[in-house]
Structure 1
Amino acid sequence: MGRGTAEDGRARGRAPLVEPETMPGGRTGPDARDARFRRWARRVAGVAVVLLWATHALLSLVGGFQMVNHSQAVEDLSSGRMTSYALVEDRPGGGSSTPGWWTQEDLEPGSVEDLRTGTTTVLYTVAGSRPRLVVPDHITPSMNSWGSWTEAEVDWIEEDLVTSGLPSTVSSVVPGRVLQAHGLLGLVLVVSMLVRVVFGAAPVHGTRWFWFWLIGLPAGLGVLAWAIWEEGGWRDHRVPAPQQRSSGGYGFAVLLLGSFVLTAGSQLMAWLLGVTVIPL
């Protein structure tokens, strides 16, 4: 050994070197245990949010309105499968404004007189299936399909459907418990993320304002991103410095551009692949 060192290789007069996260004998220190617990708690929370988001998306599809042509409605009524119907001013998914993904679109009653103007459409239910939305026979069911009823179709609605004696209120064709569960779960996801963003620990991949704006992304994708990046810790090894986190202005731009791209993309897919269900 060289002069001025102890037999164990440590410099004289200096404390023995100890790994910062490990106590002598391989025991883990309190700070390291707390850090490990917080890391795993974040991951568990992230997985839980992803599962809740997936459940919300599934409920949206399960409770959505199936689109059918007028001839299918005639067949369902004549065979006795139809259990209720409603005339509504605007069909689900056909409004001029796009509500937040966590809200529900109210259906307003329509009238027989407005059938010919194209401002009223028909919804009905069959046993053991999702509610059905009727479009005229001469158009292909799609998210944006809208066409005027023919005289024969209007006559059938007035003379056969309206006089059938079936329940005819809007509430009778709303998907009941599925709709309630879907709305409640969406509200829980939004409120929990909002509370976490505003009052929780400072996020590391973006500022609070960045994540605040992303809550409004369609289909809850902002909440999904939060669960993966912030709660799940994905790409934590590439976390930027606090002053370089994604800003609120960037988040607002992502909200605008993302909403446009997602809406246009969904409409393009519907045009290419066709539509059988309008999600809640």
Structure 2
Amino acid sequence: MIVQLPAVRAWFSDDRRRRRFRRAACVAVAGCWLIWAALAWWTAPREVTAGQLDQDLVAGRVVTFTRADGWDDQGGFWGRRPEPRYDTHGWVMVWSMPDGRVRWADVGAPATESPIDGEDARLARVASAWRADGAPADRLADAAAQLAAAMALAWLVMLVAGPAPGAGSRWFWFWIGLLPFGVGLLAWLFREQWHARVPAGRDRQSGWAGLGWSLLGGLLLAAALAGLGSVFGDHVVPSW
């Protein structure tokens, strides 16, 4: 049975129903964010010692590997896993494991012009090149990126096509939404959807204010992560 548009409008005309729908949508999106965060945290590259590479290799825990000269994580979408800057003579060895985790270590540049012996040759005998189809780490990272992209797209559609925000203009929330790790999306959900009926108490924030808060928020998030990483270590707060 096809639901007629007037019936849909009538259903949403009730303030209580509309509020319940908004809160249910908030819970659903927040749940998706938690799943994304868990996947992103699990597949984030973690630095270990060169000796750990040998242990993983002996134990058969290396699925894919590559050499690199660092990480390409500049200017990318917040839901995307950083990728190594591939270099056959790079000083970084990156490898993925059967459970989807990614590790990297400073092993130094290969001693020969063509790295066909030593650690590289041992890895090549038991593992595949990085980004091999079907590797668990790639599947989990792709799922996290797709989930983040879906959340960002849904947020953007609701921001542009939905009711005018109350606490800030659409441009204000656009800039806030660019905060790393989906923090801006969560802020928009909480302030404009969960507490949509709560008065802002002042004039709506402008796009310029959103840009300023976005820049400041990005700096504060970076400082907070650096501080947490120094206290709890790379295994709790991954860094690269």
Place the TM-score, normalised by the shorter chain, in its bin: 0.7 to 0.9
Q: Among the aligned pairs, what percent are the same residue?
A: 26
Is the Cα–Cα contact under 8 Å of residues 88 and 122 in structure 1 kept in the other structure?
A: yes
How far apart, in 1, do the equivalents of 2:25 and 2:100 lie? 34
- Deviation of 1:37 after TM superposition, in Å, equals 1.3
Q: Give 1:107's match in structure 2, choosing from 76, 84, 101.
A: 84
Is the Cα–Cα contact under 8 Å of residues 95 and 104 in structure 2 kept in the other structure?
A: yes
Which residue does 2:7 correspond to in 1?
Answer: none
- Deviation of 1:32 after TM superposition, in Å, equals 11
Which residue does 1:167 correspond to in 2?
Answer: 127
- Deviation of 1:262 after TM superposition, in Å, equals 0.5
Query: Which structure has the higher relative contact order (CA within 8 Å, separation 6+)?
Result: 1
Give secondary structure in 1 for the equivalent of 2:93.
Answer: strand
- Map of 1:1-280 to 2, 5 A cutoff? 34-91=14-71, 95=72, 97-112=74-89, 114-115=90-91, 121-128=92-99, 130-135=101-106, 149=108, 159-164=117-122, 165-172=125-132, 175-233=137-195, 236-240=197-201, 244-276=203-235, 278=238
How far apart, in 2, do the equivalents of 1:84 and 1:32 lie? 51
How far apart, in 2, do the equivalents of 1:254 and 1:177 lie? 34
Which residue does 1:144 correspond to in 2?
Answer: none
Any idea what the Cα deviations from partners look like across 1:132-191, whole Å, max 9, x if unmatched?
A: 21135xxxxxxxxxxxx3x8x968x86332112233422137722211111111111111
Of structures 1 and 2, the larger Rg is shown by 1
- Deviation of 1:124 after TM superposition, in Å, equals 1.6
Is the Cα–Cα contact under 8 Å of residues 97 and 137 in structure 2 kept in the other structure?
A: no
Give secondary structure in 2 for the equivalent of 1:60.
Answer: helix
Q: Which portions of structure 1, spanning 4 or more consecutive aligned residues, are displaced by more than 4 angstroms?
A: 30-33
Count of residues paired in the alignment: 224
Any idea what the Cα deviations from partners look like across 1:187-224, whole Å, max 9, x if unmatched?
A: 11111111111111111121111111111001101110
Show structure 1 runs of 5+ residues with no match.
1-29, 116-120, 137-148
Aligned partner letter, 1:161: E
Q: Residues 262 and 36 of structure 1: is their aligned pair in 2 closer, same or farther, counting only changes over 3 Å? A: same
Any idea what the Cα deviations from partners look like across 1:47-77, whole Å, max 9, x if unmatched?
A: 1111111111111112222321001112222
How far apart, in 2, do the equivalents of 1:38 and 1:219 lie? 28
Is the Cα–Cα contact under 8 Å of residues 45 and 101 in structure 2 kept in the other structure?
A: yes
Q: Residues 81 and 207 of structure 1: is their aligned pair in 2 closer, same or farther, counting only changes over 3 Å? A: closer
Aligned-residue Cα RMSD (Å) equals: 2.9
Aligned partner letter, 1:128: D
Is the Cα–Cα contact under 8 Å of residues 131 and 174 in structure 1 kept in the other structure?
A: no
Stretch deviating more after TM superposition (259-268 or 167-176): 167-176
Is the Cα–Cα contact under 8 Å of residues 42 and 233 in structure 1 kept in the other structure?
A: no
Is the Cα–Cα contact under 8 Å of residues 86 and 109 in structure 1 kept in the other structure?
A: yes
State the TM-score, normalizing by the size of structure 1.
0.70
- Deviation of 1:98 after TM superposition, in Å, equals 4.5
